[in-house]
Structure 1
Amino acid sequence: MADTKREIERKYEGPAAGGGAGLPDLTDVPGVGSVIGKGVDELDATYYDTADQLLAAAAITLRHRTGGHDEGWHLKLPVADGVRDEIHAPLSDTVPAALTSLVRSRVRDAALVPLVRLRSSRDVRHLVDDSGGLLAEVSVDRVRAERLGGKGAAQWTEIEVELADGGDPAFLDKVEKKLRKAGLHRSASPSKLARALAETGAVAARPAGEPPAAKPVTAGDHVLAYAREQRDALVELDPAVRRDLPDAVHGMRIATRRLRNTLRSFDNVLDRTVTDPIRTELKWLAGELAGDRDQEVITKRLAAALDDLPRTLRSGPVRKRLRTWSRERHSGSRQRLTEALDSRRHLYLLAALDALVSDPPLRKAAGGKPGKVLGAAVRKDLDRLSRLVARATGLPPGRDRDLALHEARKKAKRTRYAAEAAAPALGKRAEATTRAMKSLTKLLGDHQDSVMSRDALRDLAEQAQAAGESSFTFGVLYGREERRAAADEDALPRAWRRAVRGAAS
């Protein structure tokens, strides 16, 4: 079992880092009641990566460490500057499966091998407040680095300040002010591993097939830049989805949808004989993601609807029934999603996306002027959307209209993403289209959520009846959802006219 901790720390170097005696007196840092020495720990860490250092290139570290209070396996995933999530697993002879799964989107089939060994003497001090509460841990680390399988070696001393769990990050600014006065400055390396790689001659190389990003010039450049951005999002969000972090599934689903729609909207730029199979696989991934996300959206919607319902209209254990229904579906969808991310099919998709952006199947229009080529593609999507909206609003209320409105919603999203991809080239015109489509999809999305909520309410009512509970409340909520959907349909013509004006501005 792996445990997670949010790590907020800063590293310093300079003359004062030469030893404990050089560390300034930190008792006069505002808020510090006393500084408590905790002794010296001898740490021995071996860092693992692929041979071409794919983890290091993404600022991810994976190590096996003995010594100290938290010996074991540690995987550190970047969150922001100076902020990482540290995931800990017990000591074992091989990298734990719980950690390898979290780096699978980065390493794919490549083996994780030991690259660098770091041995550190860590002189630890605790900064505590007047009541003895821990504010931060300050350590003076004397580090000896050795590149495994090579001749490189290095050593240095650094000071590390780590904020206590739940502490105010502003406290680190106070400590830093004191350290700067003593001649210390922030370390140029974000981590010990990064410094060890640099100083032992094992600097991480750019992954094969990935040329340095250049400023987009042609229409093809702009489309590929947008596609690369979404490919990167799929890779980066993978660990967060596996960890079930808030909005991670939603973020990956959006990236998948953006990629799929971009390949369709700009089929005059990228050859469909290559991109259509990729779109099929993206549709598969979106479907695997949909169950978990749709479940989350509908549960929140129904819970909010129950909150708004007068007590006199709540009959039976409706909240408990909703929680049970949601938990059962969430558990099943989570398992299916994890299996999908672990599958060979998903690895093949990531490989296909890598090939797409590194060796793109460009058509003649890819070399054209971005304003002309991309603008025409966005207008084409708008024309198709116009026909779908006209068809949907001409149908009588019911299932056929619901399906037509859902199709219009999907086309509005495609138009939005096409405009997003074109915005760096088209400027304000594309940005206005993006805003207009976002507003329209919000209305159509609310309508679709109502359709899905009514399906869920039917299911809940049937389960309640089977258990001998009252289904009255679920019927009341069903009626409210019907009225909400009707209001969305009434508002659509005006919203569409507003969207057209916005897209034309």
Structure 2
Amino acid sequence: MAETRREIERKYDAGAGQGLPDLRGVAGVADVIDKGVTDLDAVYYDTADQRLARAAITLRRRTGGSDAGWHLKLPVSLADGVRDEIQAPLSDDVPPALTGLVRSRVRDTPLVPVVRLRSARALRHLVDASGALLAEVSVDDVRAQRLHDGSATAAWTEIEVELAKETTPALLDKVEKRLNKAGVRRAKSTSKLARALEETSGEGRAQPQAPRTGDSAGSHVLAYLHAQREALVAMDPAVRQDLPDSVHQMRVATRRLRSAFKTYRKILDRNVTDPLGDELKWLAGELGVDRDREVLTERLTTALADVPRTLRLGPVRARLRIWSIAGRTGSRRKTVAVLDSARYLALLDAVDALLADPPLREAAAAPAETALPKAMLKDFDRLAARVDHALALAPGEERDVAMHEARKAAKRARYAGEAAKPALGKPAKRFAKRMKAVQSVLGEHQDSVVAREALRNLAIQAHAAGESAYTWGLLYGREEAAAAARERELPEVWARAAAPKVRSALGG
């Protein structure tokens, strides 16, 4: 069974004959305990074209030391030396629990041994006055061997400082200051594998990389698409690990890609992007099963907590908990199955293929400052028509549907503004902010519509079980009032968003 821990460390280059300076006296460090030397032997796995390495991901099988086994390290913040390390027991083959976490990167490409690192690790513990561990400091004499492309070798010495679980990152700065005084500098490579690959040369075929952003509309749109592609792929392992907000973030990346295809139809050939957009819509819908349940559960739980105890009639907390767990279990299982499906992997391949050979139209060569505002204003006009239609309807189911359609248009307009920020600056930022305000009001309204349907079902279940349905009816009424308040609020919010200066700022 795989286990995850957060790793916060820094690596330093140690020159020939350069030892570790005395770290006693560093603020908070009372003693440095010598833990001896351990021989480590690690084989790193990757695709032949180094897809994991290019994403700063490492996968290794290591023997020796106290944590022998398989280790997968996923970057959290490379600049701060923060990674999540997922460990699995020692076995001959890569454990399925780890292959799933890199599937969005490797797809169906085999994982093969690429580098072997053998290290003699001299380990020391930094402890406080009570003897509690603050950090581990190791001096590693490393020998690297590439396992193909000529079996080139390299050797170096590095110092690694890794924080203990309860230690604050401030200690790293204090230790680094002492190391710097001794002439020890931060390593240029983010990992031993990265250094081994560099020093034994041998370049693999790169995954699609974001192009340098030029002044054309096409270059800005492609840069945005690359960023969303990376977000989509990077959130896959987080969703599989059920990390907080991961499904939401992955769904947002999916929607932003699809929205960009629609907004920039003058720049990208829709004969290519429309079929891909349909697949992105499918993925967003599948992810929504899990995400929507998560949001709804949180809303109902909060609403129930606000009801005075004297008005909570019957086992309402227990019923909500049972309803939530039952729905969450099913949706969670379905989400992971989607990420393991051939259709999903084909979608990722299609996104990569589009970015490798983008279907740019003639308008892509136009200056970004003229082409992007036109696309944004077109989305704005689409939103305006939908808001006007919703506001013209009487309260009720038809208006609810119209406001939901307006919400989707507001989200698309907001994404268009966000995509244009690197090119247009403040006007695009202000536009996106105003569209987000409209989206928020419409979103709160739609959340109320969905919540009312769930509350109705909970009331039916309670009644069928012989329980009082009073509390569910009370919450239903509150949601009705909340929806009505959002409907009253919308005209004013929309008036601010649709002010003439919004259009004029974009040249409209």
TM-score bucket (shorter structure): over 0.9
User: How far apart are residue 441 of structure 1 and its match?
Assistant: 0.3
Is the Cα–Cα contact under 8 Å of residues 288 and 337 in structure 1 kept in the other structure?
Answer: yes
Q: Distance in 2 between matches of 1:229 and 1:212?
A: 7
Per mean C-alpha deviation after superposition, the further-off stretch among 304-313 and 236-245 is 304-313
Aligned partner of 2:143 in structure 1 is 144
User: How far apart are residue 158 of structure 1 and its match?
Assistant: 1.2
Q: Distance in 2 between matches of 1:138 and 1:180?
A: 15
Structure 1 residue 76 and structure 2 residue 73: aligned? Answer: yes
User: How far apart are residue 38 of structure 1 and its match?
Assistant: 1.6
Aligned partner of 1:48 in structure 2 is 45
Aligned partner of 2:184 in structure 1 is 184
Secondary structure (helix, strand or coil) at the match of 1:138 reads strand
Is the Cα–Cα contact under 8 Å of residues 57 and 205 in structure 1 kept in the other structure?
Answer: no
Q: Distance in 2 between matches of 1:175 and 1:382?
A: 53
User: How far apart are residue 447 of structure 1 and its match?
Assistant: 0.3
Q: Distance in 2 between matches of 1:340 and 1:399?
A: 32
Aligned partner of 2:86 in structure 1 is 87
1:9-158 counterparts in 2 under 5 A?
Answer: 9-15=9-15, 18=17, 22-80=19-77, 81=79, 82-149=81-148, 150-158=150-158
Is the Cα–Cα contact under 8 Å of residues 209 and 226 in structure 2 kept in the other structure?
Answer: no
Secondary structure (helix, strand or coil) at the match of 2:37 reads strand
1:406-485 counterparts in 2 under 5 A?
Answer: 406-485=404-483
Aligned partner of 2:488 in structure 1 is 490
Deviations 1:374-427 (A, max 9, x none): 222211111121111111111111111111000000011111112222233333
Letter in 2 for 1:27: R
Aligned partner of 2:230 in structure 1 is 232
User: How far apart are residue 444 of structure 1 and its match?
Assistant: 0.4
Is the Cα–Cα contact under 8 Å of residues 210 and 227 in structure 2 kept in the other structure?
Answer: no
Letter in 2 for 1:116: V
User: How far apart are residue 461 of structure 1 and its match?
Assistant: 1.7
Aligned partner of 2:367 in structure 1 is 369
Against the structure 1 CA distance between its residues 332 and 12, is the aligned structure 2 distance closer, same or farther, given a 3 Å change threshold?
A: same
User: How far apart are residue 319 of structure 1 and its match?
Assistant: 1.9
Is the Cα–Cα contact under 8 Å of residues 371 and 426 in structure 1 kept in the other structure?
Answer: yes
Structure 2 gap segments, 5+ residues each:
none
Is the Cα–Cα contact under 8 Å of residues 40 and 63 in structure 2 kept in the other structure?
Answer: yes
Q: Distance in 1 between matches of 2:248 and 2:413?
A: 19
1:169-180 counterparts in 2 under 5 A?
Answer: 169-180=169-180
Letter in 1 for 2:138: S
Q: Distance in 1 between matches of 2:204 and 2:116?
A: 16
User: How far apart are residue 122 of structure 1 and its match?
Assistant: 1.0
Structure 1 residue 344 and structure 2 residue 342: aligned? Answer: yes
Letter in 2 for 1:375: P
Against the structure 1 CA distance between its residues 59 and 204, is the aligned structure 2 distance closer, same or farther, given a 3 Å change threshold?
A: farther
Letter in 2 for 1:473: T
Q: Distance in 1 between matches of 2:430 and 2:35?
A: 59
Deviations 1:135-161 (A, max 9, x none): 001111111111113231111111111
Q: Distance in 2 between matches of 1:118 and 1:3?
A: 23
User: How far apart are residue 171 of structure 1 and its match?
Assistant: 1.0
What is the RMSD computed on CA atoms of the aligned residues? 1.5
Q: Distance in 1 between matches of 2:438 and 2:210?
A: 37
User: How far apart are residue 205 of structure 1 and its match?
Assistant: 4.8
Taking structure 1 as the reference length, the TM-score comes to: 0.96
User: How far apart are residue 470 of structure 1 and its match?
Assistant: 2.3
Letter in 2 for 1:202: G
Aligned partner of 1:325 in structure 2 is 323
1:385 is aligned, of 373, 383, 386, to 383
User: How far apart are residue 57 of structure 1 and its match?
Assistant: 0.6
Against the structure 1 CA distance between its residues 172 and 425, is the aligned structure 2 distance closer, same or farther, given a 3 Å change threshold?
A: closer
Is the Cα–Cα contact under 8 Å of residues 48 and 204 in structure 2 kept in the other structure?
Answer: no
Q: Distance in 2 between matches of 1:13 and 1:230?
A: 35
Deviations 1:91-113 (A, max 9, x none): 11110111011111111111100
Is the Cα–Cα contact under 8 Å of residues 216 and 225 in structure 1 kept in the other structure?
Answer: no
1:248 is aligned, of 239, 246, 260, to 246
Per mean C-alpha deviation after superposition, the further-off stretch among 315-324 and 104-113 is 315-324
User: How far apart are residue 428 of structure 1 and its match?
Assistant: 2.7
2:352 is aligned, of 346, 351, 354, to 354
User: How far apart are residue 330 of structure 1 and its match?
Assistant: 1.2
Per mean C-alpha deviation after superposition, the further-off stretch among 111-120 and 455-464 is 455-464
Q: Distance in 2 between matches of 1:345 and 1:337?
A: 13
Q: Give runs of ≥4 in structure 1 deviating > 4 Å.
A: none
1:151-170 counterparts in 2 under 5 A?
Answer: 151-170=151-170
2:307 is aligned, of 296, 306, 309, to 309
Secondary structure (helix, strand or coil) at the match of 1:470 reads coil
Deviations 1:19-70 (A, max 9, x none): 7xx2222222221222222222111100000001110011100000011111
Secondary structure (helix, strand or coil) at the match of 2:22 reads coil
Q: Distance in 2 between matches of 1:134 and 1:211?
A: 41
Letter in 2 for 1:192: K
Secondary structure (helix, strand or coil) at the match of 2:498 reads helix
1:249-264 counterparts in 2 under 5 A?
Answer: 249-264=247-262
Secondary structure (helix, strand or coil) at the match of 1:420 reads helix
Aligned partner of 1:270 in structure 2 is 268
Against the structure 1 CA distance between its residues 369 and 35, is the aligned structure 2 distance closer, same or farther, given a 3 Å change threshold?
A: closer
Secondary structure (helix, strand or coil) at the match of 1:110 reads coil
Structure 1 gap segments, 5+ residues each:
none
Against the structure 1 CA distance between its residues 404 and 212, is the aligned structure 2 distance closer, same or farther, given a 3 Å change threshold?
A: closer
Is the Cα–Cα contact under 8 Å of residues 18 and 157 in structure 1 kept in the other structure?
Answer: no
Against the structure 1 CA distance between its residues 467 and 167, is the aligned structure 2 distance closer, same or farther, given a 3 Å change threshold?
A: farther
Q: Distance in 1 between matches of 2:38 and 2:318?
A: 50
Is the Cα–Cα contact under 8 Å of residues 227 and 259 in structure 1 kept in the other structure?
Answer: yes
Using the aligned pairs only, state the percent identity.
Answer: 62
